[in-house]
Amino acid sequence: MARPDVALDPTSVPVPGAGAADAIKQRIFVASQWQLTWWRFRKHKVAVASALVVIGFYLVVMGADFLAYADPNASEAQRSLMPPQRVHWLDGWRFGPHVYAVKGTRDVQSFRRVYRADPGEKIPIRLFAKGFEYRFLGMIPTTRHLIGVDGDRDATNTIFLLGTDVQGRDLWSRLMYGTRISLTIGLVGVTMSLVLGVVLGGLSGFYGGIADTLIQRAIEILRSIPTIPLWMGLAAALPRDWSILQVYFAITIIISLLAWTELARVVRGRFLSLREEDFVVSARLVGCSQMRTIFVHMVPSFMSHIIAATTLALPAMIVSETALSFLGLGLRPPAMSWGVLLQQAQNVQTVALSPWLMLPAVPVIVVVMAFNFLGDGLRDAADPYGR
Amino acid sequence: MLAYIGRRALLAIFTVWAISVLSFAIIQLPPGDYVTSYIAQMASMGSVVTDEEAQNLRIQYGLGQPIYVQYLKWMRLIAQGNFGMSMEWRRPVTEVIAERFWLTVVVSVASLFLTWVLALPIGIYSAVRQYSVGDYVGTFVGFIGLAVPNFLLALVLLYLGFTLFNAHIGGLFSPELQDASWSVARVWDLLKHLPIPALILGLAGTAQQIRIMRANLLDELRKPYVVTARSKGLTEAALILRYPVRLALNPFASTIGYTLPYIVSGSIIVSLVLGLPTVGPLLLKALIAQDMFLAGTIVLLLGVMTVIGTLISDILLVWVDPRIRLEDT
């Protein structure tokens, strides 16, 4: 393919010795937009690291039941509010991770359960140990878990890496399952707002005129309403007898109904700037249908922007769900999400006595930060021709 | 300028209308109506409401009429300053929320104010001393502020205050002044308790404002007029504060519109965690008890308060930026 800009560039004339730099230049000239985006993104180290963190979280989503070692709903009154057990990595001089067995008694004065580790009784932690039955990836029935203990779990023969909640349920396992719900609810919600945002933003930017004015005013109105009271009102109106799944979808719809505005704004902006571009005008002139102009010519050229905006919208979704569930208006037990787990940490007295109940806040913060950095990196990379 | 303000005011009125419809929807959404819940409540207390009484109540509240008629009736009552009765408190809604509503306004305005007071100097500093240690610290704190949901921040601070200093940092008043009537001592007490909730609520906004201020000021600092001013021998401080900062302030003013709804939203959850006597905890309780007139009124008032705040920021923006005034004339 003849590229006039390359031919006219004096450095592109093969000169012995200048071959390497030249080859790089050639590569840049012929690279596709996606390749350029990827090269640019790769340079943003923090964003790449964040991408790995996000991928890690979604691996947890897929393998939650494999990573959990205890049934997240199995409560054990004998093990209420047990602090996290310390893992001892060395057994004598050999590598042999284990925890000490824990004896629980009730304090006569405060009536709280107190726990004491017994160094005499070691419980080894095994890899791929047997535990409760589940289907790996939803298909393969198995009882193997990443870690676990020999023999059957009972009140003494057990591990609690992150301690237990009031009902004596294992926090680590609950956290794994909570990750599954918290992270997928964001995905479902963001998909819904994406559809709304692209359709309404597209209408607004492509047609302009009255549609544009109406949609823009609607966005301005929606953005000036404090969202949380509204969400609370809508969420509280959900019937109490709905199943977990119904509530789950209702909550995503409620959240995404108010969250599409930013995506619509981005899409509209791109449509406006592309509408008068030469390639769009020529597509129209050679008689492409409107649908074809939009989806074959325009959308691919700002796909990367949409992906970046979507990534930036995800953490807001996750936080919204967490906040609603934390208030007791979102998902309700027995559903597990980070917000539901954090509900137990609402009371400062409880938290002061059992600080490990605040641990579900850690993944919230980490994942929100990772998504923010990733989105920033993607947004910068999405415009490889800029700067 | 007047045309601009007029247009913004018109939009504000539209927004208020939209919010009133949404609040009305919230009142209407749960199954059953006010009278059904009232009968259930009376039954739980042992008294019986006769069918005739129920019928009278329904007529009095206009239930059973088409939805839009009910909406108009509700609007008319509100225009008369009557927001209905709170079922749970058995008192008019206005009485229940009066003080709490004003405290919500105070907390929100305080955190907006704090956002500005913090973001302005930090933003200017990180732009003028780009890539300095201070700039990096500011950026880092900013990212934390953006990433940590404010109710979690409140929870962590509450925990740290409790374990490290054995102090309860929540609340807006000391226990002995909780239910006292207003006095100088109570106002002073409020002022002493205000900074922590205001900081927690304002942190995300502050982080955003710092980024905006920094980016805008950096753009301005590279422009030729700055070089000209410097070559004329202006001191650095006067040079930066008098021209580029003034220009960089514009987007700063215009973002109040987005910051305020965010702060008000956040104040609901943060109030619950910190135990602030704002409308937040009241709203949650009302929603759980299906005390819908109370809940709807709170959502409506919060919305209206935000709209007024946004309108003020719009007017402020015209005042700061003469270019907007010129566009319209």
What ipTM score was computed for the predicted complex, to two decimals? 0.76
Contacts of A346 in chain B (CB under 8 A): 155, 272-273
Q: Do A364 and B284 touch (CB under 8 A)?
A: no
Helix (H, G, I), strand (E, B), or coil: what is residue B277? coil
Helix (H, G, I), strand (E, B) or coil at A101: strand
Q: Which residues pair with A141 in a beta bridge?
A: A135
Q: How many CB atoms lie within 10 A of CB A87?
A: 13
Question: A307 is written with which tokens?
Answer: 């992906």
* A334 cis-preceded (ω within 30 degrees of 0): yes
Closest of A104, A97, A215 to residue A163, by C-alpha: A104
DSSP assigned state of A82 = P
Q: Do B268 and A322 touch (CB under 8 A)?
A: no
Instruction: Please tell me the distance in Å from B163's CA to the nearest CA on chain A.
Output: 7
Strands A126-136 and A88-91: unpaired
Given B257, B262, B284, which is nearest A327 (Cβ)? B284
Contacts of A342 in chain B (CB under 8 A): 152, 155
| DSSP conformational letter for B33 | -
Tell me if B283 and A232 make a contact (CB, 8 A cut-off): yes
Does B258 contact A328 at a Cβ distance shorter than 8 Å? no
d(CA A147, CA A87): 13
CB pair distance less than 8 Å for A368 and B261? no
DSSP alpha helix (H) spans, chain A? 4-8, 19-30, 33-43, 45-62, 64-67, 171-207, 209-223, 227-236, 244-257, 261-275, 278-285, 290-292, 299-327, 338-342, 348-353, 361-381
Tokens of A7: 């031919």
Q: How many residues does chain A have?
A: 387
Interface test with B, best of A182, A215, A216, A225 (most B CBs within 10 A): A225
Chain B residues whose beta carbon lies within 8 Å of the beta carbon of residue A221: 11, 14-15, 18
Yes or no: say if B296 and B282 are a contact pair by the CB < 8 Å rule: no
CB A338 within 8 A of CB A364: yes
Report d(CA A42, CA A284) in Å as an integer: 36
Written as six digits, the tokens of B66 are 């088409």
Q: What is the pLDDT of residue A187?
A: 86
Cα–chain center distance at B18? 18
Chain A CB contacts of B258 under 8 Å are 223
C-alpha A376, offset from chain centre? 15
* B279-301: burial string, b at 16+ Cβ within 10 Å, e else: bbbbbbebbebbbbbbbbbbbbb
Using left for φ > 0, alpha for ψ between -120 and 50, and beta otherwise, residue B131 falls in left
| Nearest CA distance, A277 vs chain B (angstrom) | 27
Tell me, yes or no, if B18 comes closer than 8 A to chain A by beta carbon.
yes
Residue B222, φ and ψ in degrees, nearest 5: -85, -5
**Nearest chain A residue (CA) to B153:** A361
> Tell me, what's the pLDDT at A5?
43
Q: Which residues of chain B fall short of a pLDDT of 70? A: 30-35, 37-38, 41, 45, 60-64, 177-178, 251-252, 254, 257, 321-329
For residue B82, the tally of other CB atoms under 10 A from its CB is 13
Q: Report the pLDDT value the prediction gives residue A8, as an integer from 0 to 100.
A: 42
For chain B, the maximum distance between any two Cα atoms, rounded to a whole number of angstroms, is: 88
Of A230, A232, A364, the CB nearest to B284: A232
The parts of chain A modelled with pLDDT lower than 70 are 1-21, 151-156, 383-387
User: Distance between CA B128 and CA B276 in Å, rounded?
Assistant: 38
CA distance A89 to chain B (A): 30
Q: Count how many residues are written for chain B.
A: 329
**Tokens of residue B119, six digits:** 């973001």
**CB A238 within 8 Å of CB B273:** no
Which residues of A have a CB under 8 Å from any CB of B?
Answer: 217, 220-221, 223-230, 232-234, 236-237, 239, 315, 319, 322-323, 326-329, 342, 345-346, 348, 351-352, 355, 358, 361, 364-365, 368-369, 372
Establish if B150 touches chain A: CB-CB under 8 angstroms. no
Q: What is the pLDDT of residue A52?
A: 92
Minimal CA–CA distance to B264: which of B94, B150, B146?
B150
CA–CA dist B326, B310 (Å, integer): 21
Calculate Rg over the CA atoms of chain A: 27
In chain B, what residues touch A369 (CB-CB under 8 Å)? Answer: 143, 147
